[in-house]
Amino acid sequence: MEESGGDSGSVATPVQQRAHEAWRIYQHYLDKTTPHANYRWIGTLVVALIYCLRVYYIQGFYIIAYGLGIYLLNLLIGFLSPLVDPEAGGVSDGPTLPTRGSDEFKPFIRRLPEFKFWYSMTKAFCIAFLMTFFSVFDVPVFWPILLCYWIVLFVLTMRRQIAHMIKYKYIPFSFGKQKYGRSSSGSRAD
């Protein structure tokens, strides 16, 4: 019997080659979706609707829905948070948010970028949907208590996040190009 040497790792089996090729194709199409944010989010809403309809019609898997809700809340907080937390107090090496009027403008950089937010959310809905096909995940729970607890958790978490946004004067959204006052020439581009 021959022992494998250190250089045998470079030779891939046919299964590994097929898996790698499949991953490259998947990554290619995923990369092509990057500039199409509206279509990506519409697709995620369709996946979420299918998941919600499945949970509604089979009247079960509420614990999966609760776990999904907690995970999505965590993603949302990452999406709304700056990359560098101003409360850390200058310990960072990266860009920071301006905290005084005299500070120069620094763009808002998210801790979780939009593409990763969308991708993680879509994967979470797909995994939760697949979990509804296995009865081992259908733990009997009283769902109104889970729903109330999730709502309380959401409200408290968002209140804290909004207070943080007000305290450090940042808005995690941009609404297109900033418009300035009308020019003195009187020309309008209506």
For residues 110 and 79, the answer to whether their CB atoms sit within 8 Å is yes
- pLDDT, position 184: 52
Q: For position 190, what pLDDT does the model report?
A: 45
Among positive and negative, which fits the CA dihedral 173, 174, 180, 186?
negative
Q: What is the pLDDT of residue 73?
A: 95
Q: Which residue has the tokens 């763009």?
A: 107
Ranges in the chain, pLDDT < 70: 1-10, 89-106, 175-190
Q: What pTM did the predictor assign?
A: 0.75
> What is the reported pLDDT for 171?
77
DSSP letter (8 states) at residue 33: T
Read off the DSSP letter of residue 9. G
Torsion, Cα 26 33 47 128, to 10 degrees, reads: 50
Query: For the purposes of burial, counting CB atoms within 10 Å of the CB of 131, is it exposed (0-12), middle (13-18) or buried (19 or more)?
Result: middle
